[in-house]
Every structure is written in C-alpha cells, then in structure tokens.
Structure 1
Amino acid sequence: MTKFVHRANEVMSERYKIRPKIREQEALSSYLFRLAEANGTNFLSILIQISTTKNSEISARRYYHIDINPAKKIDIKLLSQLTCISIEELQNHTFFPVLKSVFEDPAQNADQSTFQLGNLYVSQHRRFCRMCLKKEIKYHLIWQLKDIEVCVVHGVKLENDCLHCGKIQPYSKANMEYCTCIYCESNLRTENLTGSSIVHIDENQLRLYEIWSYMLESTKRLTPRQLSLSLEQTIALKILYLSQEERLEYRFASIRYLSGQEKVYLRNLALGQKTDGRTSYLGIVIRFFRKSKISLEYFHDVDVASEYFQSFIGEKKTLETGTCLAPWCHAAGTSNEMSMIQSFHGMDTHKNVYFCGKCFNTYGYSKSSGVWEDIGNRIHTVYNVILPLMEQGLPRKRMIQLLDGISARKISEMFGYMYCQNMIPKGYPHLKGVDKSPPNDLLSMFQLLKNQVGTYAYNMSFKAQELFGWTVQEFFCYFYQSQVQHFIFNEPKRVKKPRIHKNVHGLIREYIAECEREKKECSTSDFENNHGIPRHALQYYGLHEEIAIAKEDQKEQIMQSRYEQFWELTQMYVNNKLECGEPFNRLDVYKAINKRRKWISENCPDLIVWINEQVIISEEQQKKRQLKLDERKIKESILFLNKNEISISKASIMRVSGIAAIKLTGNTELSDYYYHLLNSDLLK
C-alpha cells in the first residue's frame, strides 16, 4: 500500500484538468467514462492509473467490481485526490452504501460482500433506458440489478442491445461515454417509444425500486445493533421477529415470507452458527422487504422484544401434562389417563394436545394464553348447558329452540356423549334413539368407515347413514363408546388416498395436438403455464417423457416450418424493395425479419447466401439508376451551356451538374456518354 501512497503524492500536482461533476444516481464506472472523454484519454488508462492490482490482472470481466465495492479494484483515495471529489461521495455512486447498511465491515469482508451482491447484479453487459440516455448521458447504478426490469421514469423495459446491429453492449468498452454501439457506432439513445418497449410497471417492480433506492441513498445502517449482536445477527433476528408479527415467542412454523432454507439460514446467522455459503444473505433481506411490505424506516426503528430473544436463544420449555378437568370423569384432577395426540385438528390453536382415556375430552395449552384447557369447550356445553336442561326434563326439540347458536346436530352429539358417559339424569323421559345397544361388530363397522372417509365424525356420520342406516343420534351413541374412542384417537384423521393424475394424460395429448396445430414447440414449462400442473407432478407420474418425445418429434417439423416462414418473409421484403427500386443492405434484411445473422447462418444457411446475392442485385440496380440520373444531368448541363454560349468541357459539366470528377475522368461509362452526346445531333 506504500507504493500507492507514494504515487498519490506524485500526482497531487497532476490532478485531472477537467473534472466534470458526478451526476445524480450515476454509476462510478459511468463517471469514469465521462472523465476519460473530458481529459482526452480512455477508460482503461484511468483504470490503470488508479488500480490497486497489477496491469496484467486488470480484467474486463471484473470491471463491475468498481460499481459494487470499489476498494477491491481501485485506490478510491487516489481517485478522490485526482478528481477533487470526496471519498464518501464517490462511494455513494457504488453499491458500497448497500453493503455498509447490511454488513458490519464490508471492507474487511470484501470477498463475501461482493459475492453476495454479485449474485443480484448483471455484470456481463450494460443495461440502459434509451429515453434516459437521450436526456442525459449517464448509466444509472440501479439499472444493473437483476430485480429491476423497467425504467420507472419512462415506463419502458431496460435494454442491453443496439437497435441497428442487435449486438449486446458489454459492461465497459470504448464508445460507452458517447452512448453509441461499440460494434457499429450507432446511437443507443432514442426519443421514440415503440409499442413493444412500453410495459406496465407492476406493484412488485415499484416496491423493488423503492427498496433499492432507499438502500442506495441511505447514509445509515439498516438497523442499529441490538442485544449485543453484530449488525448481520441483528438484521437476521429482526427479520424473524417481524415475520412472526412481533410475537413474544419464537416458533419456526409461524414464520412468514421466508422459505424453509431461508429460515434455517437466518436462525443460524442470528445465533452466530455456520451458515450455507451458497445462500445470498442480501437476497433474503431484499425478498423479505418485497414480500412483507414492511417499510425500511419501521424496520430501522423497531426493537426486538427481549422475551422473543430469550425464547429464540433459550431451550424449549418442557410443559407438564395437565389434569382432566371434567367433573364427571373418574380421572378428574389427575393426569393418570392422559395420552398425547400426535395429530389433531386443534393443534393450530393449542400445543401439547392430550386426550383423557376415561372421558375422551381433548386438552392442550392455548397458544395465545398458555393456559391448559379443554379443546372445543365440550365440558362447559355438557355440564353447564345441556345437563341443567335435561334435569328440567326438556326434550331435544325444545333445547334447539332455546339454545341459539347450538345446532340440532351438536345437541344430538352431546346426547350421545352423555349417554356413553352415564350422565343422563335418572327418569329422563326423552331417550328415543339413545338407549340402543351397540352392535356386536361395532369396531369393525367403524374400521370400515375409517377406511372410506377417515375419522372425522362429520364425514363418518353421513357414511354410516349410507352404509348402515344409522340416524345421527344412533351414530353418536355408538361413536362415543369407549372401544370406538380409543380406536379413533389412535388413527389418523384423514384417509390416505392414493395419488392419481386424473385426466392429466388426456390434457397432455390435447396440448401436444394444440402445439402441432399452432406449430409451436412442446415443453413441460409451457404445459405448466397453460394448465397449472407443475413439472414435478408430471415427473412423479412418469408423464413428462410424453412431452419430451413429442418435442423431439416436432423439432424438425417446427424448424422446417420456421425455415419456410423466414424464407417467405425475406423474399417478400426483398422483392418489394427491388420492385420499388429502394436500396437495402444485409442489416436491413436481418432487421426486417427480426433475426440476427448468427441465428440465420446456423438455422437457415441457404437464406444467408440468397440475401447476399439479392444485396448485390440491389447494388447493381442502384448503380444503373444512378447512371441514368447522371446521364440526364450531363445532357441537361450540355443543353444549358450551349444555350448560354458557354464553352462545353468536362470541367464545366461537373460545375453545373455537381457530378464527381472521378465519374467523368478516364475510361468510364459517363465519359463515353459525354463524347457520344457531343458527336450526336444534340447541339445542331
């Protein structure tokens, strides 16, 4: 580093004589182009002067590092001295502010931070808005991001190629400071908007533009450090915290906006553990803000609750098994009959779910309050609502009228449950359909129901009526029998159905036929877009091979059709030009059929030969046309000179007609025509 300091001292008196102002939102590399032009040098010469690497190591493939993290390639302090622009301002025209906002020390971890941003950056070619370039020559820094696809100022798609020759513009080459193509020197700027260039700017693009603009323009970190954590750890923890809607307890399953891999990455990062080097930390941050729509200002100001942090770093609390709460149960007040349930429909609201082996009520800790309680509130319904009405001797119909919000089906269920638990008051007269003895093969009958519809009582009751003719009341009297309840709680709720692809095979055949009719190529991705059936589903059923085979069969046919189509378009264009006598060249033909020369030479080599032949014919046609025009000018000039009694010579003819001397000098067609007119009867 000493040699660079010494070199800086040498050039302090040799600052660039012309130092243009760096423009708003301009990339540093774009400014270096303009700096080179203003001082009569080139981009590479400036880069060699300020580079911190050997000249042999300066690679065009790494020029984009100047705009991401300039410290990796150039001496930013030296550039500041040469241009009289502060280091901070120069860095603000790179992605250094972004790296500084999310990394504790981007300079110390230059390789990691550059790699992280490089995954989100277009580094092979330069992207631009033609309308913006027309207004002001500068390449915006934000244009190079893969996330940004349109110019939000003009509503046009960002492009990377030349309109004239169609070639993609490299990231850094000569001519870039003039906004011209480096291959054909055509102008990359335009004032006209074409229909294909105008696009709809969706909400997603606007959100991404807002996020990146904020991070590029911000002078502060994305968040202050909290809880004695590093910046990266704090950001990871905040994302997890806000993804759980600022709840006080960390739960992996309740995290939103993030994929499983991203959750694991952020959790390990927040805990200071080893992370997957292939995952882009910066990419996760950007995707979180895009999906969550949380403002960056709020993210900066919000504090992670200490309770959340403790639950995040602490061990999972072991919850004790609660006791049975049903007053009529023989196991009430104890946990002796409690058995844990691994899968239950109440697990979205409760955790550590158990059932009592005596009263068959389900219990768990409420996720919202943390209180041990019965799930479904059956104890209250039975003991405080239905039982007092039974003691008054009211029938079910009367209960339905009195109990608003409790259906007839629910009351029948409670009757069946209370009957099996011996809770029906003595002398209760309304037991029709309740006091039936269960069948001897009751368990096998419920096994049959389970195999067909699963173990949800609602589904089983309808199936039982269909198979066995049971009423709703009879079903629940059997359903709450002890042997049936033990069977139900030990079986999965849903019946496992075999995977079937239904009519996918037919859809594939229709899709292939449609492709043949429209002469387009088959592909699994196109099939997925049209029918919403993912590719992995086709692979699962082994149906993707049908599309692959059809694709191969159609490939030659489609190529032949395209070949004929381009021949027809080309012939139509060329013949029209020749008939009208309009000149054209090879590039005009390529542009007319919207294909590059490389593609045509690879797919239609005969067409290239034919185009070359027609261009030669056009050139000959234009020569003959120009010859006739020149002959007419010579004839008119001779008549003019003769009429005004001016001496007729080749020199006087050239002055009057404007014809170039080379056309009349020597043994040329126009020279012969000149002498032919002099010897003719034209002057008599």
Structure 2
Amino acid sequence: MLNRPKPNKGESLTGYLQRVAQANYISSHELWRWFILKGKHYPQSSMARVIDFVPGCLLDLKKMTCSLNINKETILLMTFQEALSKFYPYGTSETQLLSSKILSGITLQTRWFCPECLEEELFYKLIWQVKEIEVCPKHKVELISCCPRCHRSIPLLDVKSKVGLCSYCNSSLADAPRINTTDMDKSRCDDWNYLLGVNDNFLTMGSNYKCNFNQILASKLIYTACNYQETYSKETLKKSCFNKNTQQVLLQTARGTRVGSRVLHIDNFLNLIRLLRLNIEIIPKINVLTSFLDSLLSQKETIKEKISCIAPWCKSYKKPGSLHRTLTSVKSLIGGENLKYYLYCNECGIEYAIDANTGTLIERGYFINLAWYKVRPLLLENKTLAQVALELSQTKDRIRRCCIFLFANSLVEKNNIPFNVPEQHEDSKLEIMLEEINKGVRAKGFWRNQGWIYNEFLFYWFRSDVQVAYIQRKIPREDKRIDKLQKQERVLEVLNNLLDNNISITIAKVAEAMSVCPETLRQWEVLKINKAKTEQKSIRHKIHT
C-alpha cells in the first residue's frame, strides 16, 4: 500500500479498511479481495460483520500487518474479538470464537453513526455497532441509522463504501440532523469501552477448581451477591437484588447442573453486574475463596440424586440417582395438574415427573399402579380380558396394553395373557422398530405402515429398550439438502430468468428468488453469477450501440 493511514482509537476494522481503500484510490471490496484468505469466497457485503468480529477467519492478518505497517494486536483492537476473548481461555481458536453465542444479537448489522463525531474526525467507531449504545457519550446526540437524504441503511462494508458518505446517494452523513438527548447511560459506554480494550480476562478464579467460563462467571456473581462471605449462604443470596429465577439459573450454572448446553449471554452478564452495582473492571480481580466454592458446590443433594425408580421389577428399584432428566422442565396439563422435573428410568423405560403441588414423584403412565399392582394379580388368576376390565372399571384397550406390557417385559407368562400375542421378539423386527425411532418416526401409524397387527406392535413397542430409545430420540429436521447438480440447475434457471427479463443480476436477487440467504448461496460453490453479470453487460452494451 502506498498510503497507510494510522488506525484511530476505538475505530472499527471495516471502517478502517474503507479509509485505507479511499487513501489508495481503490474500492473497499478490492482491498478486501487483496487481503482475503486463500480458499475463501470473494467479498460480499453480508459477510462484513465477520471482519469486525473475528477477522482472522476471513482475512490474512500477516499480509495485513506487512502491507499496512501495523501489528496484529492493533488490528484485533478494532474488532469484537477482544471482548470475546475475555470470556474464553487463552489459546481458544478463532473458529471457536466466531461460533460463540455470547455476543449473538448484541451488535447491529448496519452502520450507525454520530454526525458530530464524523464532522470532527472522519472515522467509524466500533462501539457504535453495539445495540444498547444509542447515544454518543461525547456529544449527547442520538446515533443515526440511515442516510439523511435517501433514508437507506448504511452497509458495514459495501463495494461503494466510503467513510462519512452514503453508499447509495453519496450524501454526507455528517449532514444528518442532530437529535440532542439527556437520556444516556454512561455506565453502558464504560462497560463496552472496557470490554473492547486490552484488559484482564474474566476467567481468573483464585482456586484450584477446574470450571468452564459459565461456572466461573456464575460463581463470581453469586460470591459478590453474598457479600464476599467465607461460605455460601442460601439466605444471603435470597436477600440479594437477584430474583428467584435468576438465583436458580446462577446456582445451576455454577454447579454445572443445568439441563442442556446453555451459554451465559453477555447481555445477561452485563445486566447482572449492573444490578449488583459492580464495576466491570472488578470482575477479573474477584478471587472466589475456596471455602466459599466448597460450600457452594457441595450443597444438599439435588432432587434427581434423591429419588429413584419405583417400579418393583426394575433393577434400579429404590436406587437413588437412578433416574435421568429429560429436556422438559415444567408443564401445565389440561386437567389443572402441574408437573415439573421430567425424568425416566434407563433400565425399565418408565417415565416420571414431580407433582409441583405436593413435591412427590409420580408415574407419567399407568404401568406401575395399574399394570403391576392391579392387572397382574388378576392375570395370575387366569381372568379374561373382559373380566379384568369390568373389575377394574377400565377400558379393554387399556387393559390390553397393560397385559402386553407385562408379557413384553417378562413380568407374566404367555399362558397368563387372555388373547393372542407373539411367542417371542424377533431380532429383525426389533431392529426395524429401533431404526424407525432413530429416524424420528412417531408411534402413531407406525404399526400400520409396517403391516403389523396391533398386538404385535405393542409387544415390541413396550419393551424397555424400545421405550428408552424413543425417549432419547432426536427428532431430525426436514432434510432440505439437495445435491450439487440440482443446485447448479436451480442457480442457472434463476440466472436465465433474470437475463430474459432484463433484471439486473446481483447475489441478493438470486438468493431472494431461490429463498436462501446469500451466505448459503456462496457456500454451495456453484455460483455462475459473475459470468451471468458479464453476459448481461455485454447484451446491454450491444443494445445501446
């Protein structure tokens, strides 16, 4: 580069690249193409956000440092990577940082700006891209989101991008009307200036505990809420500024007992430290006492550790901790019953829940109370299906299901069943059922699709291993993938249509016509758009000449 402007303090990388491009009389995308990593797709405006997040995933940072005479640290300071790295251990890969959900939804997809700042010094600040920063802290005016003339949003890094000018009508953004305001929270700016600066990592713990970043942050927040006591106190936490739900989430996060993989989002983190009136600079310096962690992590047993399977025939009968959580936490049933803490037994497949009103463990079915305790004794007396149903005031279908459940799990003999059922399970049919479950096929209609009779289906369906497989199944999304040839055909069809109708060809137009986003279209690696653009220009040129 012949001209190498120096980065300004707080400048965004996409804005800096625009200034470099302007100084060297080339377009922003030409500069981007010069620095792009080998094997990456050609520049697209929709990918500019990645440059301001983790630039090393798109750009050759070594080439940038040599060409622009700036070091890598200076480049990263113009991005959100510095904020991301405060929540991850040193050495975390750029790919992991880019896939992190900590900052998801926290930044803007288009350019916001302060006209006063642009009038004083022509560069875009990175902090303007944070959603909660709506006012310029220096001039006390609202940040502007569009061109003052054509009212269109300003892209982060468009092919025609120039700092301080609209990409569409070339109007000066500094001419935008000033909207003065006193509604400004300075602490928000302070927090983000700290996050985006070179400061300490949040993951220092002051103990030998091996925890992930979620557990460390949650532990620090609980420790602060408990007034830095030597040991954890449930009562002290209850009196803190955190509501009940927040307390439960923080405790589960600190102890690693939350169901599923959840991330402590930066928005929640910032809201919590603001509730505590805690300066963000203090977080890295908080060293949680080992005695506090011992008491926090060794609290009373969880519900799951206390309760056990209550099916008398099960190997896990009355073995505490033998039940497993599902991803369902709370449900209100139509009859007014409130259930929480859904569980199942991995041995017998019986499903359970906790009654929210009484706190007792209940079966989410009828195989223990009805099949085992009531139907089984009557079957041993050789009662008929009709007799059992009449005596227990139950439908014949429910009694039939109870009978087959008992026989399928070897809880009664075949001669005790008052109707025809298969002699034994066939491995081939069992494999078919398990395969269908793994595909996400639901129980309803399965037996008809396979041509099985009802009793035969239930005989396999009520096996404990089948029930466990069904509970643990992952329902796949509809497969919308198509092969490469089909992709090429679809793209060419759209391009031909645009050519025939003399509609200007852009990746956005093609993506819209195919109902996919531009990023997906680029990943298909079947783009013939440039060729079609050239052809369209040639046709238009011939028409005009």
TM-score, length of structure 2 as denominator length: 0.50
Are residues 1:211 and 2:191 paired? yes
Give 3-state SS (helix, strand or coil) of 1:289's partner: helix
Contact kept? 2:28, 2:160, Cα under 8 Å: no
Are residues 1:251 and 2:234 paired? yes
Are residues 1:297 and 2:277 paired? no
1:215-248: CA deviation from partner (whole Å, max 9, x where unpaired): 2123321352332334613222101211232232
Separation in 1 of the partners of 2:63 and 2:116?
34
Contact kept? 1:180, 1:187, Cα under 8 Å: yes
Are residues 1:116 and 2:96 paired? no
Alignment match of 2:126 (pick from 141, 162, 185): 141
Q: CA deviation at 1:206?
A: 0.9
Once the two structures are aligned, what percentage of the paired residues are identical? Answer: 23
Separation in 2 of the partners of 1:152 and 1:303?
32
Shift in alpha-carbon separation, 1:116–1:260, aligned structure 2, 3 A? farther
Are residues 1:89 and 2:74 paired? yes
Shift in alpha-carbon separation, 1:28–1:257, aligned structure 2, 3 A? farther
Contact kept? 1:211, 1:289, Cα under 8 Å: no
Paired residue for 1:469? none
Structure possessing the higher relative contact order (Cα contacts under 8 Å, 6 or more residues apart): 2
Give 3-state SS (helix, strand or coil) of 1:165's partner: coil
Separation in 2 of the partners of 1:52 and 1:72?
8
Give 3-state SS (helix, strand or coil) of 2:200's partner: coil
Give 3-state SS (helix, strand or coil) of 2:102's partner: helix
Are residues 1:127 and 2:109 paired? no
Structure (1 or 2) with the larger CA radius of gyration: 1
Alignment match of 1:241 (pick from 217, 220, 223): 223
Shift in alpha-carbon separation, 1:18–1:163, aligned structure 2, 3 A? same
Are residues 1:63 and 2:43 paired? no
Q: CA deviation at 1:161?
A: 0.8
Give 3-state SS (helix, strand or coil) of 1:189's partner: helix
Separation in 2 of the partners of 1:56 and 1:317?
53
1:318-359: CA deviation from partner (whole Å, max 9, x where unpaired): 9xxxxxxxxxxxxxxxxxxxxxxxxxxxxxxxxxxxxxxxxx
Paired residue for 1:427? none
Contact kept? 2:218, 2:254, Cα under 8 Å: yes
Contact kept? 1:68, 1:117, Cα under 8 Å: no
Contact kept? 1:160, 1:169, Cα under 8 Å: yes
Separation in 2 of the partners of 1:255 and 1:88?
43
Bigger Cα displacement from structure 2, 252-261 vs 210-219: 252-261
1:622-655: CA deviation from partner (whole Å, max 9, x where unpaired): xxxxxxxxxxxxxxxxxxxxxxxxxxxxxxxxxx
Q: How does 1:594-605 map to 2 (within 5 A)?
A: none
Separation in 2 of the partners of 1:290 and 1:98?
18
Separation in 2 of the partners of 1:282 and 1:223?
14
Alignment match of 2:12 (pick from 20, 27, 36): 27
Contact kept? 1:69, 1:114, Cα under 8 Å: no
Separation in 1 of the partners of 2:55 and 2:239?
37
Paired residue for 1:331? none
Q: CA deviation at 1:278?
A: 6.1
1:544-573: CA deviation from partner (whole Å, max 9, x where unpaired): xxxxxxxxxxxxxxxxxxxxxxxxxxxxxx
Separation in 2 of the partners of 1:255 and 1:108?
41
Amino acid at match of 1:251: K
Q: CA deviation at 1:301?
A: 2.2
Q: CA deviation at 1:180?
A: 1.4
Are residues 1:287 and 2:271 paired? yes
Contact kept? 2:223, 2:232, Cα under 8 Å: no
Structure 1 portions without partners, runs of 5+ = 1-15, 319-684
Q: CA deviation at 1:141?
A: 0.4
Contact kept? 1:222, 1:296, Cα under 8 Å: no
Give 3-state SS (helix, strand or coil) of 1:115's partner: coil
Paired residue for 1:227? 207
Bigger Cα displacement from structure 2, 84-93 vs 288-297: 288-297
Contact kept? 1:226, 1:234, Cα under 8 Å: no
Contact kept? 1:66, 1:73, Cα under 8 Å: yes
Amino acid at match of 1:120: I
Contact kept? 2:148, 2:176, Cα under 8 Å: no
Shift in alpha-carbon separation, 1:184–1:28, aligned structure 2, 3 A? same
1:102-133: CA deviation from partner (whole Å, max 9, x where unpaired): 2125425625664321321112x111001101
Shift in alpha-carbon separation, 1:108–1:39, aligned structure 2, 3 A? closer
1:563-610: CA deviation from partner (whole Å, max 9, x where unpaired): xxxxxxxxxxxxxxxxxxxxxxxxxxxxxxxxxxxxxxxxxxxxxxxx
Are residues 1:307 and 2:291 paired? yes
Separation in 1 of the partners of 2:60 and 2:126?
20
Q: CA deviation at 1:260?
A: 5.3
Separation in 2 of the partners of 1:180 and 1:151?
19
Give 3-state SS (helix, strand or coil) of 1:64's partner: helix
Alignment match of 1:198 (pick from 170, 180, 183): 180
Q: CA deviation at 1:286?
A: 1.4
Contact kept? 1:99, 1:113, Cα under 8 Å: no
Corresponding pairs, count: 297
Separation in 2 of the partners of 1:259 and 1:165?
46
Separation in 1 of the partners of 2:83 and 2:204?
15
TM-score, length of structure 1 as denominator length: 0.40
1:383-429: CA deviation from partner (whole Å, max 9, x where unpaired): xxxxxxxxxxxxxxxxxxxxxxxxxxxxxxxxxxxxxxxxxxxxxxx
Contact kept? 1:26, 1:140, Cα under 8 Å: yes
The structure that is helix-richer by fraction is 1
Q: CA deviation at 1:309?
A: 0.6
Separation in 2 of the partners of 1:62 and 1:21?
24
Root-mean-square deviation (Å): 2.8
Contact kept? 2:147, 2:154, Cα under 8 Å: yes
Separation in 2 of the partners of 1:182 and 1:108?
30
Give 3-state SS (helix, strand or coil) of 2:191's partner: helix
Shift in alpha-carbon separation, 1:165–1:97, aligned structure 2, 3 A? same
Amino acid at match of 1:181: C
Separation in 2 of the partners of 1:264 and 1:317?
15
